[in-house]
Amino acid sequence: MVRLRLDLGYDGGAFYGWAKQPTLRTVQGELEQALHTILHVPQDDADEPLRLTVAGRTDTGVHALHQVCHLDVSQATLDRCVGHMGVPAPEALFRRLSRMVPADIAIHAVSVAPDGFDARFSALERTYVYRICDEGRPVDPRMRGFVLAIDDRLDIDAMNAAATMTLGLHDFGSFATPNPGGTTIREVKRAYWSRIPVSPLVPDRPDHARDAGQGTADGYTVPAAESGLLCFTIVADAFARNMVRSLVNACVKVGQGKKDLDWFAGKMAVPLREGSTGPIAPQGLTLEHVAYPPDDRLATRAEAIRAKRTL
């Protein structure tokens, strides 16, 4: 069998998450259907089910700029997609898959995975970003699908004070639900809120350009697309279900003044779910990156992360 690594991105707005479901449109469902067609494998083939394993199972409405999954397939099956292309089989599959998937999925690369690679268990860390347009400012129509609009101006200092409490190894049971047999213990490496600055579209012009009537030294102040957005960036070894969106929701409550930092600290200290720590709306969240160790450490990493975590 050959293990392939697939790198991709998607607009999650029209998907019911990553994981395949019988009657709902999902990213995994679309990809696996396309793979079965391209590789001429029946959907009910028990010998070669073409099942994708993903780095991070995103929820309904959540996006991915950089997602990673792997697929095990026989060499004979993989070779079927070459046809008259005259290119290596992974490249042929990349070209055919790119043309077959819907427009809200983008295939970045298809490659033969190195020995020991597991898209889920070999990953060192995942990076998510949640984007908010606050103060009741209008959302750029081009970005309405991946930005959450909030009427209040959020207190970024208070939100960063809350985010700092998440750093390190914790049980995030107040903000997440475990998989069967799993835990909500995770290690957060970075977590912070930042506001994207407004910068001139055209940089400062030299004196001779101003003298020629080509503009002012200040340039143009047309903002970039993300200017003014409030962004939460979080990096962790892994995330439990609803963890990021629930942490964002809790931080937003602090930023709105509806909850204080003592409340947030209490939720970190006592890992217990209750109504005020549910997930915020999904559209602001994007999986931005998945990082892996060097090839010679992939198998060791996968073995270590499969072990059930404790504090």
> Given CA atoms 143, 132, 273, 291 in this order, what sign does their dihedral have?
positive
Burial class of residue 83, CB neighbours in 10 A (0-12, 13-18, 19+): exposed
Q: Which residues contact 197 (CB under 8 A, 6 or more apart)?
A: 227
- Is residue 263 helix, strand or coil? helix
The catalytically annotated residue of 11, 59, 134, 171 is 59
Assess contact for 128 and 287: CB atoms under 8 A: yes
102/31 Cα distance (integer angstroms): 9
Q: How wide is the angle at C-alpha 126 spanned by C-alphas 121 and 128, nearest 5°?
A: 150
Helix (H), strand (E) at residue 9: strand 2-10
As a whole number of angstroms, the distance between CA 278 and CA 153 comes to 21
11 is catalytic: no
| 3-state helix vs strand vs coil in the chain, percent to 5 | 30, 25, 45
Calculate helix-pair angle for 156-164, 243-255, nearest 10 degrees.
Answer: 140
Q: Tell me the one-letter amino acid at 81.
A: C
Alpha carbon distances (Å) from 112 to 1, 203, 207: 11, 43, 54
- How many angstroms separate the first and last alpha carbons of the chain? 38
Catalytic residue numbers read 59
